[in-house]
A and B are shown apart, each in its own frame.
Chain A
Amino acid sequence: MKIYFAGPLFTPYVRQFISEHAQILRENNIEPFVPHESFKPVIAPEIIKSLVEQGALKQEELVGQSASDLAIELLRKGRLTREQLGLPPRSAEFIFEKDYEGLVGANAVVALLDGTQVDDGTACEIGIFYGLLREDPSKKGIAGFMTDSRGLRKADQGYGINLFVLGVIEECGRIFGGFQEVLGQLKTWETELEAGL
């Protein structure tokens, strides 16, 4: 089964959190699409070499990780530009198309709902997946995942999230406060899929 892992992936710790949980899914034979992991441009070695020569990269920074991973990290931090790395400019349409493909190919969505509101990108993905699910029986549902204490305190009141977003999730899934429960839900959907339900 394929899932799309949606969430606010703008800080290193959220990306790490999502990657760690995606790894748990992989260990359970579930194939996750993780937007920030799908962003893996390969940087040509001669570009790295020239950046080191210019002093934009330090030789010691390259120890213990691949040059491409380092370059992507520095790109996110704003220390390097796409131009310096020889990468084409990345438009909003490009990001959308890439992630939309991930949604189209998924059987379910895991959506990390933390934050003062559901992240707008995540909310948009929830909406798209629900719209697709209505016409595609291979799409099973959306598992919301909340670790935010402000939401958990309101677990009995829809986790304090926007009523429309909550309504969409509850039409085709549920919100869970623990990842084991998320995994349990995905396993149920997987069994249903295999049984052709």
Chain B
Amino acid sequence: MKVYCAGPLFTPYEREYMSECGQALREGGIDPFVPHESFTLDLPPDTPRLLMERGLMSEKDLTQQPLADLVRDLLRKNVITREDLGLPSGPSAKRVFDKDFGAIAESNAMLAVINGTEVDDGTACEIGIFYALMQTDPTKKGIVAVHDDWRTLDSPGEGKGLNAFVLGCLLKGGIVHRELKDAVKQINTWRAELQSEGLLQMEKTTL
């Protein structure tokens, strides 16, 4: 079963949390798509030399972390550009869209982290797309949201609440949970449904 993990990915700790969500699913034998982890790079062979010449990396760094992770980090910090590395620049919105939409279209469920002062716009957009695709695709079971943000919780909480349209979409297309473990449980329920409906492709049973 494939699950698309949607959520804000803009800070190191947000990415860490999304990776944690992905890991929780993987441990249950589910195949998660975590957008920032899927950010693959087709690096030219002389990349390590180029980075070392610029003093951005040492031999030792390479033994501690995969090269792609190091490069991703440098790109995010804007220390180097894609052009510096000889990577195709292209319109990056198109790159992000193609990759993420492709994964949404293939997924059987979505796990959406909706924390924040409002739902992250990228996440909200992905929720909408998944909901629309669900209407005609019986292999898409639903959206489970993880929501534990004081600013948008009704009780206890002090904020203005969640956007009613987004919340309505989540409730029509799935469910909202406070805890990640409950979200994982829900996904497992959907997985059992898919299996009994014969809608799940043969999948790896071991990690």
Contact = CB atoms under 8 A, between A and B. Distances in A.
Interface residues of B, number: 37
Nearest to B152: A120
B97 to A, nearest CB: 3
Interface string A111-140: 000000111111111111111100100000
Interface in B91-135: 91-94, 96-98, 100-101, 118-133, 135
Contacts of B79: none
A165 B121 contact: yes
B57 interface: no
A105 interface: no
Contacts of B96: 163-164, 167
B168 A127 contact: no
Interface residues of A, number: 37
Of residues B98, B123, B135, B168, which shows the largest number of chain A Cβ atoms within 10 Å of its Cβ?
B168
B125 A119 contact: no
A128 B132 contact: yes
A126 B122 CA distance: 10
A131 B128 contact: yes
A86 B127 CA distance: 34
Interface string A88-118: 0001111111011000000000000000011
Contact of B125 (A94, A124, A132): A124
Contacts of B162: 92
A168 interface: yes
Contact of A128 (B91, B100, B122, B128): B128
Contact of A126 (B125, B133, B135): B125
B24 interface: no
Interface string B127-161: 11111110110000000000000000000000000
Contact of B122 (A92, A99, A165): A165
B138 to A, nearest CB: 14
B167 interface: yes
A162 B121 contact: yes
Contacts of B163: 119-121, 124
A168 B163 CA distance: 21
Interface string B169-202: 1011000000000000000000000000000000
A158 interface: yes
A171 interface: yes
A167 B168 CA distance: 25
A158 to B, nearest CB: 6
Nearest to A128: B128
25 contacts: A92-B168, A92-B171, A93-B168, A94-B168, A96-B167, A97-B168, A117-B120, A118-B125, A119-B121, A120-B166, A123-B121, A124-B128, A125-B165, A127-B129, A129-B128, A131-B131, A132-B132, A162-B120, A162-B121, A163-B96, A164-B93, A165-B125, A167-B98, A167-B100, A170-B94
Interface of A: 91-97, 99-100, 117-132, 135, 158, 161-168, 170-171
Given A96-B169, A121-B163, 6 more contacts: A92-B168, A122-B121, A124-B127, A124-B166, A131-B128, A163-B92
